[in-house]
Amino acid sequence: MQKKKSNNNNRISNFQKQDVNHKHKQNMTKVNNGVFIYMDVLSVSELAKQLGLNPSDIIKYLFMEKKIMVNINSQLDDDTIGEICLNYGYDFKKEKVVAKERFEEIEIHDDPKDLVERPPVVVIMGHVDHGKTTLIDTIRDSHVAEGEAGLITQQIGAYQKDIGGKKITFLDTPGHEAFTAMRARGASVTDIALIVVAADDGVMPQTKEALDHAKASGVEIIVCINKIDKPTANIEKVKNELANEGIIPEEWDPQNGYIFKEISAKQKIGIDELLETILEVSDAMELKANPKRLGLGTVIEASLDKNEGPKATILVQNGTVNVSDHMVIGTSYCKVRRMVNEYKKSLKSAGPSTPVVVTGIDEVPVAGDRFMVFQDEKTAREVAAKRKLEKRNEELRPSSTLSLDEIFAQQKESEQKHINVVLRADLQGSVEALKSSLEKLSVEGIKVNIIRAASGAISENDILLAATSHAIVYGFNVRPDALVRQKALEEHVEIRLHTIIYALTEEIEKAMKGMLSPIEQEVILGNAEVRQLFKASKVGTIAGCMVTNGYLKRACDIRLIRDGIVIYTGKLASLRRGKDDVAKVNQGFECGLTIENFNDIKENDIIEAYEIQQVERK
């Protein structure tokens, strides 16, 4: 039977110029616009060939100018390659070698002739109740453009609008939780952020946060002053407040100012102008991508469908994804079975900036996961398997961070302190919200380190992970079953359950505060009975003792008890067995000891050794 030919044959692999095949490693090089790009050490002859020189030119140059003797087979280091390139009029760049399974790290270089314009990806952020959802809905249902399929029929986490033949992709999860969560995972998917500020309310805490996130991620910012239809709207006040945050309106500072748009999301005022502005901004940004490359991008949303199995809304950021493509999403393998858009229309292919729902994935991925199409099934499966293994090893790797208890003991030595948390919640939305609030917590240098956050029931695997990394398991609107509880008991893992986000974060915060001021607690180390006394002129009274329980240790705190009464509290000055100083004497052994600044020891006195230990506040 003839094998079906892969439809990827004519497309550019994302590893084409960076591929490292371990069996026959190739040092890929190329000269691009006068820039010599290479990846590994090169010999004189290899470099000469690439630069179109004679090897003897290089040998002569190095000898005459640099006093370096080489032969045709000598391997050149980076500095030398750089100098040779510059001498012969080339810029140079060494590219990182990236293994396939680390596909997030590859730098994509597209030939400028393959690049085409792509739609901007827009996110809407701002304070609660300022009208984000209303704006998203208004834009989504706004005047249906020609060529658009009609009203959007399903929410997939993102949608595209066609504005006179040009498209804009909107992420339709309002707020910055999702945006932050994705950014925290290293994914940057948006080009433009619309910051919604209600004209009757002005700059509020989440407005500032949204601005911080947008600025930090380097996206273009468009300010939307919303609710201008309200009688209480005060646009000038909002502008002043924003200016105080460093967001000066363009009209005040044409050079460095920001674009401000006055709108009413509810009354649909200024929406068309806003859309026009978004297109102008994106034109200026010259957003481009190469549809000829194998698709790559980021997961926007994912879930488990009763009928179709795992499915994910992916945003194609570069290249094209086709039905039947073999790709890796996060740690899962996927042969794209079906792709549908927000109009429930099946697509055969999806190009740059297109959000689509894909099915055919072997597990539910997580928002923020990256995906990449590979040339063939074998490679995609191998990469997915490697990534799965790596993730598992990562999770199981005993962490150097500390459990609640250990934090005290090691607090002084440790520079960085964490509370490790495994988080489970009923919905992906709650997971993201909890994650980002927990990650914000910081009490005098102690931070929450979330080692796993997922939706669904607490599993035995979660308990194992928590056990290996000294983490606490937090469940939000989920309850562990009997098996999981049993496992937690066996592994000494603490499970804490909550149904209110605020209560959960407050509890962790309290724990963190408690840890910083631990309670000091006395712990009795042991007792010794004074059996015999020796006087020594230099050291005073030496008590010959028998340790009757526990142990005594050098320089420990002691109490001298006589007939049940504490006579003296102090420290051991010396502790000996025979003639030797010792660190510790255990139960059942004799020893000689002296007490700092105290000589009035009597036979039959009891020496009680104790220590102050710090324990967490409960």
CA dihedral 62, 65, 68, 70 (to 10 degrees): 20
> What is the closest distance, in whole angstroms, from the C-beta atom of residue 362 to ligand GDP in the complex?
35
Cβ-contact 516, 443 below 8 angstroms: yes
Cα-flanking dihedrals φ and ψ of residue 551, to 5°? -155, 165
Strand partners, 532: 544
- Is the backbone of residue 103 left (phi > 0), alpha (psi -120 to 50) or beta? alpha
| Whether 375 contacts 350, CB under 8 Å | no
Q: Which two tokens stand for residue 616?
A: 């967490």
Q: Which C-beta is closer to ligand GDP: that of 220 or that of 262?
A: 262
Contact 188, 195 (CB under 8 A): no
CB of 369 to ligand GDP, least distance (A): 26
Angle between helices 501-516 and 428-440 (to 10 degrees): 30
The candidate with the shortest Cα–Cα distance to 457, out of 497, 505, 418, is 497
Q: How far is CA 195 from the centre of its chain?
A: 24
For the segment 560-599, give every residue that binds ligand GDP (CB under 6 A).
none
- Contact with ligand GDP (CB under 6 A): which of 50, 134, 180, 527? 134
Q: Among residue numbers 201 through 260, which ones bind ligand GDP (CB under 6 A)?
A: 226-227, 229-230
CA distance 328 to 296: 9
- How far CA 27 is from CA of 30, 38, 96, 134, in Å, comes to 10, 7, 11, 54
Question: CB–CB of 498/510 below 8 Å?
Answer: no
133 binds ligand GDP (CB under 6 A): yes
Question: CB of 196: closest distance to ligand GDP in angstroms?
Answer: 6
Q: CB-wise, 174 or 355, nearer to ligand GDP?
A: 174
Contact predicate 45/55, CB 8 Å: yes
Q: Do 159 and 152 touch, CB atoms closer than 8 A? A: yes
Q: Which is nearer to ligand GDP, 269 or 497 (CB)?
A: 269
Q: Is 282 in the site for ligand GDP (CB under 6 A)?
A: no
Q: Which one of the spans 129-137, 156-164, 178-186, 560-568 is the region binding ligand GDP (CB under 6 A)?
A: 129-137
Q: Residue 459's Cα: distance from chain center in Å?
A: 22
Among 512, 470, 459, 508, smallest CA distance to 492 is for: 470
Q: Does 128 bind ligand GDP (CB under 6 A)?
A: yes
Q: What angle do CA 129, 133, 139 make, to 5 degrees?
A: 135
Is position 266 an interface residue for ligand GDP (rule: CB under 6 A)? yes
Q: How far is the CB of 233 from ligand GDP (least distance, A)?
A: 9
Q: Which residue among 129, 507, 590, 616 contacts ligand GDP (CB under 6 A)?
A: 129
Task: Name the minimum Å distance from CB 126 to ligand GDP.
Answer: 6
Which range, of 2-10, 122-130, 535-543, 548-556, touches ligand GDP by CB under 6 A? 122-130
Binds ligand GDP (CB under 6 A): choice among 11, 17, 100, 132: 132
Among the listed residues 121, 265, 271, 504, the single contact to ligand GDP using CB under 6 A: 265
Whose Cβ is closer to ligand GDP: residue 227's or residue 311's? 227
Among 130, 183, 293, 452, binds ligand GDP (CB under 6 A): 130
Whether the Cβ atoms of residue 195 and residue 212 lie closer than 8 Å to each other? no
Binding of ligand GDP at residue 131 (CB under 6 A)? yes
Asked if 523 and 611 count as a contact pair (C-beta separation under 8 A), the reply is: yes
Q: Which is nearer to ligand GDP, 70 or 198 (CB)?
A: 198
Distance CA 520, CA 612 (A): 6
Stretch that binds ligand GDP, among 123-131, 415-423, 497-505, 570-578 (CB under 6 A): 123-131
Q: Within 146-175, which residues bind ligand GDP (CB under 6 A)?
A: 174
Distance, CA of 403 to CA of 215 (rounded, Å): 35
Nearer to ligand GDP, 8 or 133 (CB): 133
Please state the φ and ψ torsions of residue 483, each to the nearest 5 degrees: -60, -45
CB of 134 to ligand GDP, least distance (A): 3
Choice between 129 and 557, CB closer to ligand GDP: 129
Nearer to ligand GDP, 134 or 375 (CB): 134
- Binds ligand GDP by CB under 6 A, chosen from 173, 180, 264, 449: 264
In whole angstroms, the minimum distance from the beta carbon of 140 to ligand GDP comes to 12
Shortest CB 262 distance to ligand GDP, Å = 10
- Closer to ligand GDP by Cβ: residue 132 or 293: 132
Pick between residue 138 and residue 318 the one whose CB is nearest to ligand GDP: 138
Which residues lie near ligand GDP (CB under 6 A)? 126, 128-134, 174, 226-227, 229-230, 264-267
